[in-house]
Chains A and B, each alone.
Chain A
Amino acid sequence: GAVVSQHPSRVICKSGTSVKIECRSLDFQATTMFWYRQFPKQSLMLMATSNEGSKATYEQGVEKDKFLINHASLTLSTLTVTSAHPEDSSFYICSARATPQGKGPQHFGDGTRLSIL
């Protein structure tokens, strides 16, 4: 089946650091990728949707300048948490879809646990 690789799986860093998380589709071209955030014991909340070659669409309340998303190729999207603070600590999950018209299944990465000290 389709595989989505998310890296790193765990990050621990100091406050003020910028952290980049990569999401790669290994065996298919992902026209659309989604970034979710999950707080402990809560559901996944969509942060943004990125389409290859265009700007990401952010959900209401998500700071564009804080969470930079780049979908530079059909197999890679990156989420950069800029100047991270303890409140940014969370579990971040990406998912990717191959077909452009919203009909294909979404494939999830294994997630990144971000801890800001």
Chain B
Amino acid sequence: AQTVTQSQPEMSVQEAETVTLSCTYDTSESDYYLFWYKQPPSRQMILVIRQEAYKQQNATENRFSVNFQKAAKSFSLKISDSQLGDAAMYFCAYRNYGGSQGNLIFGKGTKLSVKP
């Protein structure tokens, strides 16, 4: 079974600075997706960024980028120029590629605080 591990329960960053959130996973599959979701106090799940395992290039979305190390099964999220609105719970998630189900498997989350 696949697992996702986020080893940082809480992180803090100064506004405008850069922070990296860690995520490791375990799978025997070669094709899969990885995601970072943001959950603000409103509890809505917001997709931040996604990565297909077959792509070597790291995904980037504006201030958000990932460092995907397939061999190490590591998928960290870097937030540059942190903003107060970035404060939230961040969940790393895994999903198998293809198949009839393909549900998301979430890590336990990292609570990010942004200091003004």
Contacts and interface: CB of A to CB of B under 8 A. Distances in A.
Q: Do A and B come from one complex?
A: yes
A57 B45 contact: no
A90 to B, nearest CB: 11
A108 B44 contact: yes
Interface residues of B, number: 22
A24 to B, nearest CB: 16
Contacts, number: 60
- Secondary structure at the B interface, as helix, strand, loop or mixed, is loop
Interface residues of A, number: 25
- Secondary structure at the A interface, as helix, strand, loop or mixed, is strand
A49 B101 contact: yes
Interface stretch (A62-70, A80-88, A95-103): A95-103
A44 B50 contact: no
B100 A100 contact: yes
B43 interface: yes
A46 to B, nearest CB: 5
Interface of B: 42-45, 47, 50, 91, 95-109
